[in-house]
Amino acid sequence: MNKKLLITLSGLLILSGMVLLIMKNIPSFYNEEMKLSVLLNDVKSLKVNDGIMIVRKDGIWCSRDDDYYPVNNQMVDELVASLQNAALHAEKNNANVEGKDKIVLSAGDREKISLFFDEEAGKTDRITVLYNEPNEVLNGNFAVPAQPYQWFVQPLIKLNDTDVEEISGIEPQDFSFDDLIFYQVTQKNDFEDWASKNIRIEMRNGIIIRLTVLTRNHSYWVNVALDTSVMPTVEAYEFVKNNGFLYDGWYFELPQPVGSRLFGL
């Protein structure tokens, strides 16, 4: 064999060996976790504990099973961002996955990325991710409510009881904005045969809230209409203008004790 060719082949073999050695020893941090972080740049949906399915619609995070009613977009964006950041420093984990709570993500071209964790007071500091082997563990401060209703902005109406000017249809001591937590939402008006009650609240700044409380068989829903007095403040006008879409045509399921109290039963 030609001596120069032999030297060239030997050099190529040595170079190939060095490349293989380098690739073998590339930190898994770069090789795998970066892929997860990039993948999380394109999160399309989150399914929480086989319950609420959160998806993007027209650029807004919504609940698919609640007629695409908006969820707490800030909460979802912050969760995705915290997952992306933690993925850069993920740890390998070959042990059995633990965690009673679960979120299944759809991101990039992956239909399923499973996150397992133990939620406590809407937070967790450790999440096990299943999308490739071995599993990966993310450490950080994650806001991940386990209950579906906790993904909505709560309570239903962000106003203060101390700002109420006048209330009719219910005794003032029986009403509180903070109690108006809702479980699910619908746009379907299936309440024609339900008993109803009207409550009117006027705020000091001129915001007027009209609640139509509906009940049947110990189930309670409420419809909300916003308006302003004849001479509202700028604050009142802006509140009604910016929040009307959250209530117009929507019906919200109330906890039984709250609905019962509002209805006076």
pLDDT tens string 216-238: 999 999 999 999 998 889 999 99
Q: How far is CA 190 from the centre of its chain?
A: 27
Instruction: Out of 4-8, 59-63, 213-217, pick the least confident.
Output: 4-8
Residues 31 and 126 occupy one common structural domain: yes
User: Structure tokens of 189?
Assistant: 């008006």
Residues 130 and 215 occupy one common structural domain: no
Residues 189 and 217 occupy one common structural domain: yes
186, part of any domain: yes
Residues 250 and 139 occupy one common structural domain: no
Query: Which of residues 99, 118, 146 is at a domain's end?
Result: 146
pLDDT above 60 for 113: yes
Cβ–Cβ < 8 Å for 229, 235:
no
Residues 64 and 164 occupy one common structural domain: no
Cβ contacts of 115 within 8 Å, gap of 6 or more:
83, 102, 103, 104, 105, 127, 128, 129, 130, 144
Determine the pLDDT at residue 112. Answer: 87
Q: Residue 184 and residue 66: Cα distance in Å, rounded?
A: 6
User: How high is the mean pLDDT of the chain?
Assistant: 87
Determine the pLDDT at residue 125. Answer: 95
Global pTM reads 0.82
Residues 134 and 32 occupy one common structural domain: yes
Determine the pLDDT at residue 28. Answer: 41
106, part of any domain: yes
The domain in which residue 33 lies consists of 23-146
Which one has a higher pLDDT value, 64 or 28?
64
Cβ–Cβ < 8 Å for 101, 146:
yes
Cβ–Cβ < 8 Å for 117, 124:
yes
Residues 195 and 212 occupy one common structural domain: yes
Going by pLDDT thresholds of 50, 70 and 90, the confidence category of residue 4 is low
Going by pLDDT thresholds of 50, 70 and 90, the confidence category of residue 131 is confident
Q: Residue 124 and residue 81: Cα distance in Å, rounded?
A: 15
4, part of any domain: no
Going by pLDDT thresholds of 50, 70 and 90, the confidence category of residue 3 is low
Residues 163 and 136 occupy one common structural domain: no
Which position has the token pair 């203008």?
241
7, part of any domain: no
Structural domains of the chain, count = 2
Residues 69 and 120 occupy one common structural domain: yes
Cβ–Cβ < 8 Å for 250, 156:
no
Closest-CA residue to 199 (of 262, 258, 122, 127): 262
Residues 127 and 205 occupy one common structural domain: no
pLDDT above 80 for 12: no
Query: Which of residues 87, 113, 146 is at a domain's end?
Result: 146
14, part of any domain: no
Q: Residue 136 and residue 115: Cα distance in Å, rounded?
A: 10
Residues forming beta bridges with residue 92, ordered by sequence position: 136
Residues 158 and 259 occupy one common structural domain: yes
Closest-CA residue to 98 (of 45, 140, 137): 137
